[in-house]
Amino acid sequence: MSTQRHVGQCPRSPGRKSGAAAKMSAQIQSSPIVPSMYRSLVLSCKVSGDPGPKEFVWEKKGIHKPLQKGPIDILLFRSLNKTHLGTYTCKVSSPQGTAVATYNLWIDDLKYRVFVFPQASNDSYVLLQARPEHPLLNFTVCLRSYTDLTRPHSLFSYATKEQDNEILLLKFKPTEYHFYVGGKYVAFHIPENYMDPEHVCVTWESPSGIVRFWLNGRPWPRKGLQKGYVVGNEAVVVLGQEQDAYGGGFDVLQSFTGEMSDVYMWDFGLSDSEVKMLHYSEPEVAPIFGWRNFPYKTEGEVYLMS
């Protein structure tokens, strides 16, 4: 039995804050949203909860000395290159306290490319090398898949040590998707689209438990799941396998074969118009990870192809 973590009244997504918090908090934002190699990039350390003077310490994982220290809340890259890739931290201090934010800078631009899973296995998958900074009170997952499988197969598996099916998008059969949060699921029934690519988006919000599902930009009736639950952020995220244990426990009979692309995850819910736009083009809102900035590692027999 899974252990549920519940929250009080009126929880709020970490990705979209409203108003000043009682405690100082920080978040790193990038401009542009999707970094490009050999172009300028600005990381901004946005602080809420303390309007007074502050000191900012910028650090990079693997470098022992601070990159920058003082009252400046931005870190500027005049021409981004591969040496700049990595994990950055902004530590903010003031008389009222301290706050820390992190940012994963990756430039794996997979536009016009797909992952090909050529055969069923229990050791071939894509590992996502990014995860949310905070526990999730709502989120969105989108991806595109192309397969002729008729058996159950896992597309997106997000596992924590407490719950292996913390988030899971599973196509149970050609006419049915199962979407899990915290070990429980709702089913969405679809028309059979044999040998057609399918673009799927799913959102979930903790306050109401409402799940929204879109297939190829078309919304399905909303359903309820795990109201008040909190999704942990200490997670392993895998494409193409279902985790029956944290980071493993794969079953060949639930593995994916076919093609997968356009994988995105946000720490807030998308609207109808945002999903419809995403079906045809690129998002305007910054994801936790996305296809134009995709931190991944392949294991086993998975190929990245044009």
Burial annotation 198-229 (CB, 10 A radius, 16+ → b, else e): bbbbbbbbbeebbbbbbbeeeeeeeeebbebb
**pLDDT tens for the chain, residues 1 to 306:** 334 443 333 333 344 444 444 588 999 999 887 777 777 899 999 998 888 889 999 999 999 999 999 999 999 999 888 899 889 999 999 998 999 999 988 777 898 999 999 999 999 999 998 888 789 999 999 999 999 999 999 999 999 999 999 999 999 999 999 999 999 999 999 998 877 899 999 999 999 999 999 999 999 999 999 999 999 999 999 999 999 999 999 999 999 999 999 999 999 999 999 998 887 777 767 788 888 878 899 999 999 999
Amino acid identity of residue 260, one-letter, is M
Output the pTM of the full model.
0.72
Counting DSSP H helices and E strands in the chain, the numbers are 1, 22
**Which residues sit opposite 46 in a β-bridge?**
27
Residue 66 near residue 88 (C-beta atoms within 8 A): no
Q: How many residues does the chain have?
A: 306
What is the pLDDT, as a whole number, of residue 119?
Answer: 97
Q: Cα–Cα distances in Å, from 52 out to 17, 32, 45, 168?
A: 19, 27, 15, 43
Q: How far is it, in rounded angstroms, from Cα 157 to Cα 236?
A: 8
Tokens at 102, concatenated: 């992190």
Query: Which distant-in-sequence residues (6+ apart) come within 8 Å of 41 by Cβ?
Result: 30, 31, 32, 35, 76, 77, 80, 84, 105
Q: How far is it, in rounded angstroms, from Cα 183 to Cα 225?
A: 10
| Residue 274, helix vs strand vs coil | helix
What is the pLDDT, as a whole number, of residue 22?
Answer: 56
Cis amide bond preceding 53, omega within 30: no
Which ranges of 185-305 would DSSP assign to H, the alpha helix?
272-280
